[in-house]
């Protein structure tokens, strides 16, 4: 079976973001950060059906003609040649746009009405984004 996939180019980029750091009783600070935005590819490609054995094991149907027969018989969900239920499997891939490289910085906040009058907060700064595969079971 030959088929062609028309796959779009993945786009995932880091866009600028003004992020405000706030803590009650402290003066707010703004840092330049980035967020990830884009479109990543996902796939669902059917695989040959498997026939479940009595002891819970599965046997993969490998011949292309047998695969075509199994696809034609899918509406009945039974493998008429062997009387066993068919279990469908597939290649699934799902990717999403996320941070690829990050840096942690410490932001100092002035807190004139609190003791201590100075607080620190760690902030994750996104440096680079990329499409990443999501683990599917």
Q: pTM, whole model, 2 decimals?
A: 0.59
| Domain carrying residue 132 | 11-40+100-137
36 found inside a domain:
yes
One digit per residue, the tens of pLDDT, for the chain of length 137 reads: 555 567 778 899 999 999 999 999 999 999 999 999 999 988 777 777 665 544 544 444 333 334 334 444 443 344 445 555 555 577 777 899 999 999 999 999 999 988 899 999 999 999 999 999 887 66
136 found inside a domain:
yes
104 found inside a domain:
yes
71 found inside a domain:
no
Residue 104: exposure state from Cβ atoms within 10 A (0-12, 13-18, ≥19): exposed
128 found inside a domain:
yes
Q: Contact 103/127 with Cβ under 8 angstroms?
A: yes
Per-residue model confidence (pLDDT) at position 71: 41
Per-residue model confidence (pLDDT) at position 57: 46
110 found inside a domain:
yes
Q: Phi/psi at 65 (nearest 5 deg)?
A: -65, -35
Angstrom distance (rounded) from CA 15 to CA 35 = 5
CB within 8 A of 100, min separation 6: which ones?
127, 128, 129, 130, 132
4 found inside a domain:
no
Per-residue model confidence (pLDDT) at position 44: 78
- Angle, alpha carbons 79-75-48 (nearest 5°): 60
**CATH number of domain containing 123:** 2.10.90.10
């Amino acid at each position: 079976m030959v088929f062609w996939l028309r796959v779009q180019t993945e786009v995932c980029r880091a866009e600028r973001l003004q992020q405000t750091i706030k803590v009650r009783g402290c003066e707010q600070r703004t840092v330049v950060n980035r967020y990830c935005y884009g479109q990543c590819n996902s796939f669902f490609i059917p695989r040959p059906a498997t026939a479940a054995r009595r002891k819970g094991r599965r046997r993969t149907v490998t011949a292309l003609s047998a695969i075509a027969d199994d696809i034609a018989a899918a509406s009945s969900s039974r493998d008429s040649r062997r009387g066993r239920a068919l279990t469908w499997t597939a290649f699934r891939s799902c990717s999403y746009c996320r941070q690829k490289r990050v840096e942690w910085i410490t932001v100092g906040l002035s807190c004139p009405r609190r003791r201590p009058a100075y607080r620190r907060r760690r902030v994750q700064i996104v440096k680079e984004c990329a499409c990443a595969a999501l683990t599917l079971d």
